[in-house]
Amino acid sequence: MSDFDNIAAQLPDPFRLLWREKVSSTNDELRALAEKGMAEGLVFVAEEQVAGRGRRGAEWFSPKGESLAFSVLLRPTEPKGFWSRLSLVAGLAVAEALEKYVPLEVVKRLGRYAPEIGSGFLDLLTGIRERCHLTGRHVALTCADRRREGLVRGIGSAGELLLDSDGKTEAIVQADEVRLITNTGC
């Protein structure tokens, strides 16, 4: 039995694994399957990803044996306004799984957290806030309408990033890119 067969056998319902040795993009492959009506829970894993993309078209490569490239098909039942929270709960699932070195890592926790982006989100916020390494740090954000810089105060109750800039706190719901501003000094 291969490692992927072993992982597939341990996935909770409704999750199931589809493995490929090499793909251009796990997101593109999964999106095509989703558009054909694939049910929620498909975990598309690739040993190598050669043409993935991040936000705003940034290149995303996953060389064989050096990273974990996978995409998970979710079909949230919560209102669309809550869907942006999925990236936060996915981050929480990854952080907790890595903290415990559990290889069946992320998928079990994501399956548990994804239904909680609505009414159960406040219960998840403590874990998200504890792991937010941006809190108290100066950052530069690229948002759709402009670039912002400031001090991160934390994560708000709806999952927004709280940024102090020019003497006021702004709630950032989505940023295309977040970079730490470091003091290079002499």
What is the structure's pLDDT at 2?
A: 61
For residue 8, give the nearest of 84, 101, 104, 110 by alpha carbon: 104
What is the structure's pLDDT at 162?
A: 96
Report the alpha-carbon distance of residue 78 to residue 95 in Å, rounded.
Answer: 23
For residue 75, give the nearest of 19, 24, 117, 105 by alpha carbon: 117
- Sign of the Cα torsion 102, 115, 82, 40 reads positive
What is the structure's pLDDT at 103?
A: 56
Q: Are 92 and 113 in contact, with CB atoms under 8 Å apart?
A: yes
Taking the whole predicted model, whether its pTM rises above 0.85 is answered as: no
What pLDDT tens digit does each residue of the chain (186 aa) get?
467 778 888 888 899 999 899 999 999 999 999 999 999 999 999 988 888 877 667 777 777 877 778 999 999 999 999 998 998 999 898 888 877 765 567 788 888 999 999 989 999 999 999 988 899 999 999 887 788 999 999 999 999 999 999 889 999 888 878 888 876 444
Domains, in order of start, for the chain: 1-75 (3.30.930.10), 81-131 (no CATH), 138-180 (2.30.30.100)
Decide the pairing of beta strands 42-53 and 16-23.
parallel
